Amino acid sequence: MKDTDIKRLLYAHLLCIFSIILSIFIPSVFLENFSILETHLMWLCICSVFVTAVNLVLYLVVKPNISSKRNSLSHKVTRILKCCIYFLMSCFSFHVIFVLYGAPLIELVLETFSFAVLLSTFTTVPCLCLLGPNIKAWLRVFSRNGVTSIWENSLQITTISSFVGAWLGAFPIPLDWERPWQVWPISCTLGATFGYVAGLVISPLWIYWNRKQLTYKNN
């Protein structure tokens, strides 16, 4: 049973990676002179949309947690609305954190905000899909020993690796290599993307490796 779970996790993650790869190649078919560096904003939007879509599809298809018993329409609508509000809030709070880290306040607002959106897609959207708009559950997952399934475990790993990737992505900005990708926020977005992909790759492997030691409370 556990092995099949891990297999499903791996396939889901491969699909996410595939969506990111698609977001790099598909637009160049339809759009003239599209490249990640030059039309970065465009790529950011497309990548966010693709990753969000894949996450939603996965959520609908796989349904890792059979959650709510009440399946009334109004309940669903409030749930979706709540999710949207949470997503926007996370975007804005990321934006604030970037500004606190020294991103320019007025110029490049759009770039900063789209980076916030991208980072939210990598972190908040999977959380919303998996845990729903439930702060308690989030706090549980991200505290030390609160993970109850391999899905949550992989969520923890991908989220943290996206953050670390974005954090490391800021390092090359002060260097004087004069490369186009050193401009704010390109290196950070690339860092976050690499971190996310790395998290997606690592988490199934890590779980597979440690499957003997991992025991979850509920399973």
Partner 1 sequence: MRLGSGAFAASCVAIEVLGVAIFLRGFFPAPVRSSSRTEHRAEPPAPEPAAGAHSNWTKLPPPLFNKVVIVLIDALRDDFVFGSKGVKYMPYTSYLVEKGASHSFVAEAKPPTVTMPRIKALMTGSLPGFVDVIRNLNSPALLEDSVIRQAKAAGKRVIFYGDETWVKLFPKHFVEYDGTTSFFVSDYTEVDDNVTRHLDTVLKRGDWDMLILHYLGLDHIGHISGPNSPLIGRKLSEMDSILMKIHTSLLSKERETLSPSLLVLCGDHGMSETGSHGASSTEEVSTPLILISSSFERRPGDIRHPKRVQQTDLAATLAIGLGLPIPKDSVGSLLFPVVEGKPVREQLRFLHLNTVQLSKLLQENMPSYEKDPGFEQFKMAERLHGNWVKLHLEENRSDVLLSLGTKVLRQYLGALKTLSLSLSTQVAQYDIYSMAVGTVVVLEVLTLLLLSTPQALCRGADLEVPLRSPVFSLLFYLVFLVLSAIHVIVCTSATSSCYLCSLPWPVAGGLMVLVSALLCAIVSTLTRTVIESTLLRKNAALPSSRWSEMDLLLMLGTAGHVLSLGASSFVEEEHQTWYFLVNTLCLALSQETCRSCFPGDDSKPQHSVHMLQDSAVYRAPILHRAGHTSPSSEALGGHTRWAILASPWLVLACCRLLRSLNQTGVQGAHRPDLGLWLTSSDHKVELSGLAALSLLVIFLLVQRGCSLVSRAALALGLLGVFCYRAAIGNVLFPWQPGNKGFSKGIIEARFVYVFVLGILFTGTKDLLKSQVIAADFKIKTVGLWEIYSGLVLLAALLLRPHNLPVLAFSLLIQTVMTKFIWKPLRHDAAEITVMHYWFGQAFFYFQGNSNNIATIDISAGFVGLDTYMEIPATFLTVFGTYVGPVLWASHLAHFLSSEASSGPALSRACFCYALICSVPVATYLILVTSLRYHLFIWSVFSPKLLYEGMHLLITAALCALFTAADQNSRAGPIQRWTLEMGGS
Tell me if 94 sits within 8 A of 112, measured CB to CB: no
Binding site for partner 1 (CB under 8 A): 97, 99-102, 105, 139-140, 143-146, 167, 170, 173-176
Give 43 or 163: the residue with its C-beta nearer to partner 1: 163
Give 59 or 167: the residue with its C-beta nearer to partner 1: 167
Give 144 or 212: the residue with its C-beta nearer to partner 1: 144
- The CB-of-137 to partner 1 minimum distance in angstroms stands at 11
Q: State the maximum Cα–Cα separation within the chain, in Å, rounded to a whole number.
A: 58
Where helices occur in 63-108 by DSSP H, the ranges are: 73-100
Question: Distance between CA atoms of 115 and 138, rounded to whole angstroms?
Answer: 22
- The CB-of-102 to partner 1 minimum distance in angstroms stands at 6
Q: What is the DSSP-derived secondary structure letter of residue 143?
A: S
Q: Which amino acid does the sequence have at 123?
A: T
Nearest to 13 by CA among 64, 86, 68: 64
Question: Distance between CA atoms of 37 and 133, rounded to whole angstroms?
Answer: 34
- The CB-of-88 to partner 1 minimum distance in angstroms stands at 20
> CA 167, 171, 173, 179 torsion: positive or negative?
negative
- The CB-of-185 to partner 1 minimum distance in angstroms stands at 14
Give 3 or 176: the residue with its C-beta nearer to partner 1: 176
Give 70 or 174: the residue with its C-beta nearer to partner 1: 174
